């Protein structure tokens, strides 16, 4: 799949994305290109890898200098219930000579070598800025290698300079649509087959959700792509419903599957009691079986009753605590819902990477007094924390130092985390982590004045300036 300017424009103006819907008289599009030297939160190459690397039985080969693989590998804690091949970082490790003379033969040899050593279900090959600039024909190499070894070799032309991480997510989705989805058939289908799209099994969160769906009587046909196997994505087109978890990332995939295969999609969240309840209800409603809807209500009643007992001690300790949330996309509102379920007061949140629908939900959840941050730097976050007397910051890992500067607790909510917060059991885990962070004895210690500051204060208070006679006689 060649990435042309027309394809980039198509992905940036994705009609299914709320950012590109008409707002009043203006059409807000995601067509702003990255500014040279500006931090974008990840490049297109990084975004494509985020979307595809969780396919656990495939090999992922980076065609470029070794730093491209080294700086991005393992950035997300996507877990597997089986194969671990996806955890291995493969790269062609281009040298200066490769840049000058070309590295297509080196890429071909690397693909054959991976196949002979590891026998993967498929090999995804990622272009980088360097290989795109020197004009490597990656598609031709992948096609020739696939004929030679008779396994799928999927080119992913998402050079970093093409655009942002989100654009890279969509390019990864396009690669799945063109080369993978629709290439195989499942052994059997049921009226209750769904795909989960945009869930990457961070810290194993998918495993909190699958048992619930099984109890409901719904089969997850394909996971795209958390803890996925290559084969299951091949027959994803036979599902009856796509459930989007991070809609901004792979919305193009959901929309095109609806156009090509008639698979409708809904956007849901697995965070918070209310959102999880709504998710189960909406899945049952979209599948259109009254008995399934009855089971959904029964399951919700059972799970919420159990959850209320487990959360009671945490809600008593967390009630009324003021928090600031700084994250992006669907989490910018779904984590608000989860915190409010625990009785916490969310005083501010970010709207970074949020759709217009996300922003509407945020306003509804926060009310008129809630603060929204479009672009928050550490200085702005610290100001909001000070002005709102916030007691905690919930954000991505790189913002933990901002919380430490403010001397308030911090909870990591982004892809580097090691705890599961999705589903009903995830709510208990989140409550436990919030409680431990807020009531840690370390905060009482670090908020005290330093010993040397206390000594200076005592010393200054004890000095009696009247004992110094600065009269002219003394000076003489």
The greatest distance separating any two alpha carbons of the chain, rounded to the nearest whole angstrom, comes to 108
Q: What is the DSSP letter of 352?
A: B
As a whole number, mean pLDDT of residues 86-95 equals 94
| Among the ranges given (178-182, 285-289, 417-421, 432-436), the one the predictor scored with the smallest mean pLDDT | 417-421
33-41 CB contacts, 8 Å cutoff, 24+ apart: 33/163, 34/161, 34/163, 34/164, 40/164, 40/165, 41/164, 41/165, 41/328
The structural domains of the chain, with segments of one domain joined by +, span: 5-179, 193-304, 312-446
As a whole number, mean pLDDT of residues 343-365 equals 79
pLDDT in the model for residue 444: 84
pLDDT in the model for residue 376: 72
pLDDT-derived band at 33, boundaries 50, 70, 90: low
pLDDT-derived band at 143, boundaries 50, 70, 90: very high
Q: Is 115 a residue whose pLDDT tops 80?
A: yes
pLDDT in the model for residue 364: 78
- The CATH class, in words, for 312-446 is alpha beta
Nearest CA-CA partner of 263 in 276, 275, 253: 253
pLDDT-derived band at 461, boundaries 50, 70, 90: low
As a whole number, mean pLDDT of residues 130-159 equals 96
CA distance 445 to 438: 13
pLDDT in the model for residue 404: 87
| Among the ranges given (143-147, 219-223, 341-345), the one the predictor scored with the smallest mean pLDDT | 341-345
| Among the ranges given (69-73, 301-305, 321-325), the one the predictor scored with the smallest mean pLDDT | 69-73
CA distance 223 to 148: 29
Q: Residue 191: phi, psi to the nearest 5?
A: -70, -5
**If you average pLDDT over each of 24-28, 170-174, 266-270, which comes out highest?**
170-174
193-304 placed in CATH 3.40.50.1980: no
pLDDT in the model for residue 449: 80
| Among the ranges given (37-46, 107-116, 253-262), the one the predictor scored with the smallest mean pLDDT | 37-46
Q: Is 476 a residue whose pLDDT tops 50?
A: no
pLDDT in the model for residue 353: 65
pLDDT in the model for residue 99: 94
Distances (CA, A) of 102 to 64, 94, 98, 348: 11, 9, 5, 51
Q: Is 289 a residue whose pLDDT tops 90?
A: yes
Nearest CA-CA partner of 57 in 92, 82, 78: 82
pLDDT in the model for residue 370: 80
Torsion of CA 399, 36, 66, 3, to 10 degrees: 110
pLDDT in the model for residue 474: 42
pLDDT tens per residue, range 51-71: 999 999 999 999 999 988 876
As a whole number, mean pLDDT of residues 449-462 equals 69
CA distance 172 to 155: 10
pLDDT-derived band at 292, boundaries 50, 70, 90: very high
| Among the ranges given (126-130, 349-353, 369-373, 463-467), the one the predictor scored with the smallest mean pLDDT | 463-467
**78 or 194, higher pLDDT:** 194
Average pLDDT score over the chain: 86
Q: Is 164 a residue whose pLDDT tops 50?
A: yes
pLDDT-derived band at 249, boundaries 50, 70, 90: confident
pLDDT-derived band at 39, boundaries 50, 70, 90: very low
Question: How does DSSP assign 297-336, residue by residue?
Answer: HHHHHHHHHHHHHHHHHHHHHHTT-EEEEE-BTTHHHHHH
pLDDT in the model for residue 368: 74
pLDDT-derived band at 43, boundaries 50, 70, 90: confident
pLDDT-derived band at 475, boundaries 50, 70, 90: very low
pLDDT tens per residue, range 126-141: 999 999 999 999 999 9
Q: Is 372 a residue whose pLDDT tops 60?
A: yes
| Among the ranges given (221-225, 296-300, 362-366), the one the predictor scored with the smallest mean pLDDT | 362-366
Distances (CA, A) of 155 to 3, 140, 300: 11, 9, 43
Q: Is 301 a residue whose pLDDT tops 70?
A: yes
Run of H or E residues at 284? helix 273-287
CATH superfamily, with its number, for domain 5-179: Nitrogenase molybdenum iron protein domain (3.40.50.1980)
pLDDT-derived band at 180, boundaries 50, 70, 90: very high
Q: 5-179 with 193-304: one CATH topology?
A: yes
CA distance 332 to 337: 9
pLDDT tens per residue, range 69-83: 876 676 678 899 999
Residue carrying structure tokens 């993978």: 180
């Amino acid at each position: 799949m060649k990435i042309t300017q027309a394809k980039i424009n198509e992905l940036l103006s994705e009609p299914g994305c709320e950012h590109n819907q008409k707002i009043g008289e203006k059409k807000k599009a995601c067509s702003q290109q990255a500014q040279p030297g500006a931090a974008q939160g990840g490049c297109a190459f990084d975004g494509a890898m985020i979307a595809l690397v969780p396919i656990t039985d495939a090999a992922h080969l980076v065609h470029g200098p070794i730093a491209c693989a080294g700086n991005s590998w393992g950035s997300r804690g996507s877990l597997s219930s089986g194969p671990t091949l996806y955890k291995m970082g493969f790269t062609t490790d281009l040298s200066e000579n490769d840049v000058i003379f070309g590295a297509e033969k080196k890429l071909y040899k690397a693909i054959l070598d991976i196949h002979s050593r590891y026998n993967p279900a498929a090999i995804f090959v990622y272009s980088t800025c360097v290989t795109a600039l020197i004009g490597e024909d990656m598609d031709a190499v992948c096609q020739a290698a696939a004929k030679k070894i008779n396994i799928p070799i999927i080119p992913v032309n998402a050079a970093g300079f093409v655009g942002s991480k989100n654009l890279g997510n969509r390019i990864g989705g396009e690669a799945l649509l063109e080369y993978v989805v629709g290439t195989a058939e499942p052994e059997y289908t049921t009226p209750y087959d769904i795909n989960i799209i945009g869930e990457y099994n961070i810290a194993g969160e998918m495993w909190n959700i699958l048992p619930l769906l099984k109890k409901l009587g719904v089969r997850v046909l394909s996971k795209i792509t958390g803890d996925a196997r290559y084969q299951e994505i091949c027959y994803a087109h036979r599902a009856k419903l796509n459930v989007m978890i991070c809609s901004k990332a792979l919305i193009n995939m959901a929309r095109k599957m609806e156009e090509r295969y008639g698979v409708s999609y809904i956007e849901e969240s697995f965070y918070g009691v209310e959102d999880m309840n709504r998710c189960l209800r909406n899945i049952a409603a979209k599948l259109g079986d009254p008995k399934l809807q009855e089971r959904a209500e029964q399951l919700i009643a059972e799970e919420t009753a159990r959850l209320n007992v487990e959360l009671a001690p945490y809600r008593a300790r967390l009630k009324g605590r003021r928090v600031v949330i700084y994250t992006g996309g669907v989490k910018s509102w779904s984590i608000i819902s989860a915190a409010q379920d625990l009785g916490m007061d969310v005083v501010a949140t970010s709207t970074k990477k949020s759709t217009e629908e996300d922003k509407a939900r945020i306003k509804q959840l926060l009310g008129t007094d809630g603060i929204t941050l479009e672009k928050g730097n550490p200085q702005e976050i610290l100001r909001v924390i000070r002005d709102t007397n916030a007691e905690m910051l919930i954000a991505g890992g790189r913002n933990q130092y901002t919380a430490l500067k403010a001397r308030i607790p911090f909870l990591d909510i982004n892809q580097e985390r090691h705890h599961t917060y999705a589903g009903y059991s995830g709510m208990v885990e989140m409550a436990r982590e919030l409680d431990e962070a807020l009531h840690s004895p370390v905060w009482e210690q670090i908020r005290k004045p330093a010993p040397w500051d206390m000594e200076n204060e005592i010393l200054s208070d004890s000095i009696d300036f009247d004992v110094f006679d600065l009269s002219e006689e003394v000076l003489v």
